[in-house]
Amino acid sequence: MAKRKRSGFSYLFILLMALGVVAYVFNLGGFKDMVDAARNKEKGYTEEVNNNNGTGNNNSQSDDSNTTTSVKDIKTESLEIPASSYKVTRHAHFALGYDERHEQAAWVAYKLEARETRGRAEREDRFIPDPSVTTRTARHSDYSGSGYDRGHLAPAADFKFSKKAMAESFYMSNMSPQKPRFNRGIWKSLEEQVRENVRKDKAYYIVTGPVLKGGRFRKIGRKTKVSVPKYYYKILLDLEEPEIKAIAFLMKNEGSDKPLSSFVVSIDKVEEITGIDFFPNLPDDLEKKLEASTSLKGWKFD
């Protein structure tokens, strides 16, 4: 009897051991599945993070490419005003940043509409100091006998629509010493062709001025010393759809028989040599595209 009892115990022990092994094996398989599941989950999470960070190959690229802002969303109020170190002086129809060291504006900015080129206001040729510049501007007499013209930065002919605007265009803050052959030649030609173009394109945001950086400047003037710039720039921005465009000109202060197209440069180039940031309120993607361009497409300049 005792022997049989020990044999039954042995069988029972072996059976329990076998069941334990089977349970262990099944548990091990379950553990393995859990590990595999965790790994797959981690892999999926990593791919999702990579896609969201732009290293994936699907949605992120299409999102990045769709960055252009509609022109309708651009705030155009004071869009022509550049960002610079100069205090902004505003008049009825144009604004300027006056450089006291050189006694002239570093930039003059305004919006020109096609209808404004057909006014009847006549030139009065009354050059007077700008009463809005608190540091005082140059005087009419500072140019007398110098051999240089009182060259308009914003041309008087752009303000024929208003007698007041015409008068303000003769403020000395809007004058710069220009060689006669330049002022009455290639510079005048540029001004005239800008007006011809705007009649087609409806409206331009315009910024123009002398280059007042780099090297020494010749001075004129008896009481006020006015610097004679070596170069001038003019920048046009056309936001009328569907042909949004911009163009810049950089011209030496001398007479020239070259076509206006030969003076085209990028806005980026003018920013580089003047230290002025033009059209800073444009959306970054549009500003970058327009300011890098030197294309004459859509413009008519001989």
pLDDT single digits (tens) 293-302: 999 999 999 8
Which domains does the chain possess? 2-65 (no CATH), 71-292 (3.40.570.10)
Mark whether 91 is an active-site residue: no
In contact, 291 and 278? CB cutoff 8 Å? yes
- Reported as a single tens digit per residue, the pLDDT across 203-250 is 999 999 999 998 899 999 988 999 999 999 999 999 988 889 999 999
Q: Who contacts 188 (Cβ-Cβ below 8 Å, separation ≥6)?
A: none
Residue 247 is given by DSSP the state E
In contact, 247 and 262? CB cutoff 8 Å? no
Global pTM value: 0.76
The pair of structure tokens assigned to 5 is: 């009892």
In contact, 266 and 52? CB cutoff 8 Å? no
Query: Where is 250: in which H helix or E strand?
Result: strand 245-252
* Closest residue by Cα to residue 173 from 154, 191, 197: 154
Band (3; pLDDT cuts 50, 70, 90): very low
